[in-house]
């Protein structure tokens, strides 16, 4: 991911230096198990641990000739270790190191994503309770539907984000798996218990079975999970973009002192952060397709997956990390205009209460078909000619013969639509 959208901690996880360090961690863990079994001398292990070192520049320099990054890495280690380096990489194939190290990198990346998800959950919960009793018009198909609670919007986002957190935990479990099973996964040179003990030292599970590589359904699950989380963030940002429209203006991104909205129009306050979140979410979803394409490899392994993974694993992790942080900041500082919500709720002059009027008539014994027709004909008149819906239905002979003016007034009581919000909050936050 480009530096502009990479936060420091996630950037450090996916740095070349950290990748090589994880490779070294795997190599050392294997050497330790060999020493425990007497496969390599104890003094050789001590020398390896004391002298094993690399530099990114030197590895890259060697790779220009070797055209193989793992060989370049082990060659650089050998330059520093000396004769004991003959025991490094003993019985291993490159993917034993790379895939097991990938598990460490992905696990660390997932931990950062979980921490940011927790921060988002805190903001969503706080603001949900802040706006629990704030009425807002609910919209379906982009058209005013019925009144709702603004707090319910936040509660819904909170509930979805808790599911995303569970997905991330599951994805972390699936990718925190190592393999030390050799060139085709058959343990030709090392016993399965070596793999189990190496993985235990690294805090990983050993794969039940593998080929030369960890099976890529695990990576696909990770990338698809990131795609789902990104889609939730886009869903949130898209809603904010709607609220910030001039005609709506129910909420807007915080606009800091000195900020400029347009090079040509000084009055502009654009939802640039929300738009950025929406755009970047698309790249995370697109990368999930690469993960799915990488599941099918030829036989025990080809390398059609590896070049793509060098891009999509760090980029998806860094992008989601970034937009999680930005979404949290966006919502934490979101400027809300409850008075405009009420104004917008009233803009249709009572039409949004038509559903409750329909039910009130059926309670009086009117068939649903007749009640719908009476309610709709007055609603269409307001749509087409203007006027006040409540006043109009009071003059409708069919309706007024079944409902008194007091009963009609109760139909238009906003509190009716918010009466069960506490129950929903108990479900979500208990």
DSSP code for 89: T
Spell out a b/e string for 177-204, using b for 16 or more CB atoms within 10 Å of the CB, else e: bbbbbbbebebeebeeebbbbbbebbeb
Q: Say how far apart CA 233 and CA 229 lie, in whole Å.
A: 6
DSSP code for 417: G
Considering the candidates 262, 304, 405, 416, report the single residue annotated as catalytic.
262
Tokens of 270: 């654009």
Could you tell me if 176 and 148 are in contact, meaning their C-beta atoms sit under 8 angstroms apart? no
pLDDT at residue 263, as a whole number: 72
Lowest-pLDDT range of 16-25, 184-193, 252-261, 325-334: 252-261
- Annotated catalytic, 262? yes
Q: pLDDT above 90 covers what percent of the chain?
A: 93
Could you tell me if 164 and 117 are in contact, meaning their C-beta atoms sit under 8 angstroms apart? yes
Domains within the chain, CATH numbers bracketed: 3-255+280-342 (1.20.200.10), 348-425 (1.10.40.30)
pLDDT tens by residue, 224-275: 999 999 999 999 999 999 999 999 999 999 877 877 777 777 777 888 999 9
Q: Where are the beta strands (DSSP E) in 42-185?
A: 135-140, 143-149, 177-178
- Annotated catalytic, 34? no
Tokens of 9: 């901690």
Q: Say how far apart CA 32 and CA 21 lie, in whole Å.
A: 16
The H-or-E segment that residue 45 falls in is helix 42-51
Q: Say how far apart CA 131 and CA 128 lie, in whole Å.
A: 5
Q: Say how far apart CA 92 and CA 110 lie, in whole Å.
A: 27
pLDDT tens by residue, 148-172: 999 999 999 999 999 999 999 999 9
* Distance (Å) of CA 222 to CA 161, 289, 324, 349, 403: 16, 12, 16, 49, 58
3-state secondary structure of 315: helix
- Return the closest-CA partner of residue 175 out of 283, 92, 101, 69: 101
Provide the sign of the torsion angle of the four alpha carbons 299, 302, 304, 305, taken in this order. positive
What are the helix (H) ranges across 131-182? Answer: 150-175
Number of neighbouring beta carbons within 10 Å of residue 398: 17
Task: Give the global pTM.
Answer: 0.94
Cα 90 to the chain's mean position, in Å?
40
The H-or-E segment that residue 205 falls in is strand 205-206
The more confidently predicted of residues 260 and 338 is 338
Q: Say how far apart CA 101 and CA 179 lie, in whole Å.
A: 10
Mean pLDDT confidence for 164-191: 96
Considering the candidates 141, 267, 299, 401, report the single residue annotated as catalytic.
141
pLDDT tens by residue, 341-373: 999 999 999 999 999 999 999 999 999 999 999
């Amino acid at each position: 991911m480009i530096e502009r959208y990479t936060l420091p901690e996630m950037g450090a996880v996916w740095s070349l230096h950290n990748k090589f360090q994880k490779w070294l961690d795997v190599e050392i863990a294997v050497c330790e198990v060999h020493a425990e079994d007497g496969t390599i001398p104890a003094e050789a292990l001590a020398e390896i641990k004391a002298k094993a070192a690399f530099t990114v520049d030197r590895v890259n320099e060697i790779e220009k000739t070797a055209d193989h990054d793992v060989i370049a890495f082990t060659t650089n280690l050998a330059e520093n270790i000396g004769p004991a380096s003959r025991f490094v990489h003993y019985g291993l194939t490159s993917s034993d190191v790379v895939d097991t190290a990938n598990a460490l990198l992905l696990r660390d990346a997932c931990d950062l994503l979980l921490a940011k998800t927790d921060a988002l959950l805190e903001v969503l919960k706080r603001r949900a309770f802040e706006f629990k009793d704030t009425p807002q018009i609910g919209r379906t198909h982009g058209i005013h539907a019925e009144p709702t609670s603004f707090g319910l919007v936040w509660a819904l986002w909170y509930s979805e984000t808790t599911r995303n957190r569970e997905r991330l935990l599951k994805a972390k479990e699936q990718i925190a798996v190592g393999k030390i099973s050799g060139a085709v996964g058959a343990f030709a040179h090392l016993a399965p218990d070596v793999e189990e003990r190496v993985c235990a030292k690294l805090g990983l599970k050993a794969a039940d079975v593998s080929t030369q590589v960890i099976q890529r359904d695990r990576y696909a699950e990770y990338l698809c999970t990131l795609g789902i989380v990104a889609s939730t963030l886009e869903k949130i940002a898209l809603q904010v973009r709607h609220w910030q429209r001039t005609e709506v203006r129910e909420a807007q991104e915080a606009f800091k002192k000195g900020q400029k909205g347009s090079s040509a129009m000084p009055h502009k306050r654009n939802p640039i952060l929300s738009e950025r979140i929406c755009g970047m979410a698309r790249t995370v979803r697109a990368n999930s397709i690469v993960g799915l394409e990488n599941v099918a490899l030829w036989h025990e392994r080809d390398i059609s997956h590896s070049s793509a993974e060098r891009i999509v694993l760090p980029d998806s992790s860094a992008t989601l990390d970034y937009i999680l942080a930005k979404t949290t900041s966006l919502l934490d500082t979101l400027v809300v205009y409850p008075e405009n919500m009420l104004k917008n709720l009233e803009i249709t002059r009572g039409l949004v209460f038509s559903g409750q009027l329909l039910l009130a008539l059926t309670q009086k014994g009117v068939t649903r078909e007749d009640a719908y027709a009476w309610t709709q004909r007055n609603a269409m008149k307001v749509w087409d000619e203007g006027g006040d819906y409540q006043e109009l239905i009071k003059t409708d002979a069919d309706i007024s013969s079944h409902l008194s003016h007091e009963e009609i007034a109760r139909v238009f009581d906003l509190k009716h639509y918010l009466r069960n919000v506490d129950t929903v909050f108990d479900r979500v936050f208990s």
